[in-house]
Structure 1
Amino acid sequence: MPNGETGKLSGKTALVTGASRGIGRAIALRLASEGALVAVHYGRSTREAQETANLITQQGGRAFALGAELSHMGEIHRLYTMLDKKLQEHTGAKTFDILVNNAGIGRALPFEETTEEILEEILSINVKALFFVTREALTRLRGGGRIINISSFVTRSASPTAMAYSLSKGAVNTFTVALAQQLGARGITVNAIMPGYTNTEMNASAVNDPATNASVAAMSALGRWGEPEDIADVAAFLASSDSRWITGQLVDASGGSAL
């Protein structure tokens, strides 16, 4: 892990939602390795989130864990109340620089089997929560800050067995472009990353099935599954000053899947 005083994100503070495992965890670790103080948000995975924060600390970085269910406005307000307190303790201010909207859920099932309850659940976390977590962040984000939304390559590739999930991520893309236009005057960039199939706990059953594993790997022009670190490296670039002239973009990080 680079020295926090020399990393590209030295002096910056980041909030990463859904950072207890998978892509969110990898992003939290990567941002911390560049010197950022990272707020590791989790919904229910208390142990995993604390392990992530502890690992960052053990490697010479700075982090703390925050738990809140994002499906209710009261919980989103509670998240920011806790964040304000923690940031005041760590930095002396309630402002931060980087918001990574990673928290999300997905259900793979046919269109005909998608119930109202399932659709509402997916939209509640993937769209509504992202919308209001971001809205609450705007009074706290410093000028020149970064907002990074995690979308999906399914927004450009037909996925009939993930119709509700695809719908929600399409909304994320639209939100990304509109928000980038609105926040440009403050020097805040807003971009979305679109991962493909990634080797995370969520996809464990597919990874462990030889036939499915091979089929998914073959979808990529690079012939393999994505790893969380593949996405985290893109997030680190978008969080840094290296990406200062990039905003309102949907960055495909699927290894050339379904080209």
Structure 2
Amino acid sequence: MPALEPPAPEALRRDPLPLRGRTALVTGASRRGGIGYAVARRLVAYGASVYLHHHVPHDAGRPWGADPDGPEAVAAAVREARADPEARVVHGPADLSGAEAPAALIATAAEALGGRLDILVANHALSGQDGTLDTIDAAMLDAHWAVDTRSVILLIQAYARRRATLPGRTPGGRVMMMTSGQDIAGGMPGEIAYGLAKGAIASATRSLATSLAEQAVTVNTLNPGPVDTGYLTGAAYEEIAAMFPAGRWGMPDDPARLIAWLATDEAEWITGQVIDSEGGLRR
């Protein structure tokens, strides 16, 4: 077996804009307190152009509410983080519970970014409308399946079909999905429908990675653990903070840093993984 040559010195030097010229779709980026917003800011800081997907009615119907200044304010704040002045930041709505919506969103995002889509971060999810084993019903299960699982798979399907039109093994293809702590310690007994739907995403990770390997696309799933996105306060908030060795919750930028790194060429050999990024959470 021939000896492997070590990387040339220039290959070891870090590019300050490792995503320059690449394009990304980040779903669920509708408010400045969320993970999707933090991810988008990291990607543009690395040089990428980004399409921000939002579904304002979802957040408006939750206790934390929609961003008070709307999606354009979110996009404007992302633009402030741009390192490449030629990078584009655009946004648009989509209700991904519909069967045709994921493919339409992929097409819209790709065209808005110049026709090619390199990075897909499926960050959106249905929050609430869930319960325990005793209280869930078919409608709850179907709603979470449609948004948290089916739409993600259909997004990846449409993304893969578009990538297949590119020549050869075009570099830079990345898919990142989001799961939760449904398989750790006591699971999520109060969120059966959500935990089931997110568990399906984690379970599908390796199969999806194998499916996209011929296109040189990596597929990984991130479990960010409890992240402070404004959904909990008071004694319950402090109780969870005490479960972290650092004494604080995860912040949106914590998973965003990992996702942005996975999007770079430095992570091209990492695929098919479900990665727990929980700050040493004690469950």
Would you say same fold, with TM above 0.5?
A: yes
Letter aligned with residue 152 of structure 1: S
Does 1:99 find its partner at 2:125?
no
- Matched with 2:207 is 178
Deviation at 1:182, TM superposition (A): 1.6
Please identify, of 26-35 and 177-186, the stretch whose mean Cα deviation from structure 2 is larger. 177-186
Letter aligned with residue 137 of structure 1: Y
Letter aligned with residue 71 of structure 1: S
| Partners of 2:109 and 2:117 within 8 A in 1 | no
* TM-score normalized by the length of structure 2: 0.81
- Matched with 1:19 is 29
- Matched with 2:112 is 86
- SS at the partner of 1:155? coil
Taking the aligned partners of 1:119 and 1:23, their CA distance within structure 2 comes to 24
Taking the aligned partners of 1:149 and 1:179, their CA distance within structure 2 comes to 11
- SS at the partner of 1:38? strand
Does 1:71 find its partner at 2:97?
yes
2:177 corresponds to which of 143, 149, 152: 149
Letter aligned with residue 133 of structure 2: F
Taking the aligned partners of 1:149 and 1:81, their CA distance within structure 2 comes to 19
Deviation at 1:165, TM superposition (A): 1.3
Does 1:250 find its partner at 2:279?
no
| Partners of 1:41 and 1:49 within 8 A in 2 | no
Question: How many percent identity over aligned positions?
Answer: 32
Letter aligned with residue 212 of structure 1: A
Deviation at 1:220, TM superposition (A): 2.3
Deviation at 1:79, TM superposition (A): 1.9
Please identify, of 44-53 and 147-156, the stretch whose mean Cα deviation from structure 2 is larger. 44-53
| Partners of 1:11 and 1:35 within 8 A in 2 | yes
| Partners of 2:88 and 2:113 within 8 A in 1 | no
Runs of 4+ in 1 over 4 A off after TM superposition: none
1:160 corresponds to which of 149, 174, 189: 189
| Partners of 1:56 and 1:62 within 8 A in 2 | no
Taking the aligned partners of 1:164 and 1:85, their CA distance within structure 2 comes to 34
2:73 corresponds to which of 51, 54, 57: 51
| Partners of 1:199 and 1:228 within 8 A in 2 | yes
Taking the aligned partners of 1:177 and 1:220, their CA distance within structure 2 comes to 29
- SS at the partner of 2:113? helix
Root mean square deviation, CA, Å:
1.9
- SS at the partner of 1:154? coil
Deviation at 1:41, TM superposition (A): 0.5
Please identify, of 226-235 and 176-185, the stretch whose mean Cα deviation from structure 2 is larger. 176-185
Please identify, of 47-56 and 115-124, the stretch whose mean Cα deviation from structure 2 is larger. 47-56
Does 1:218 find its partner at 2:242?
yes
Deviation at 1:139, TM superposition (A): 2.0
Number of aligned residues: 245
Unmatched 5+ stretches in structure 1: 89-93
Taking the aligned partners of 1:75 and 1:184, their CA distance within structure 2 comes to 25
Please identify, of 219-228 and 244-253, the stretch whose mean Cα deviation from structure 2 is larger. 219-228
Letter aligned with residue 25 of structure 2: L
Does 1:10 find its partner at 2:36?
no
- SS at the partner of 2:220? strand
- SS at the partner of 1:111? coil
Taking the aligned partners of 2:154 and 2:135, their CA distance within structure 1 comes to 29
Letter aligned with residue 222 of structure 1: A
Does 1:235 find its partner at 2:264?
no
**CA deviation map 1:48-87 (0-9, x unaligned):** 3322211222344530002111011232343234224312
Deviation at 1:153, TM superposition (A): 2.3
Taking the aligned partners of 2:81 and 2:272, their CA distance within structure 1 comes to 33
| Partners of 1:153 and 1:254 within 8 A in 2 | no
Please identify, of 109-118 and 25-34, the stretch whose mean Cα deviation from structure 2 is larger. 109-118
| Partners of 2:18 and 2:264 within 8 A in 1 | yes
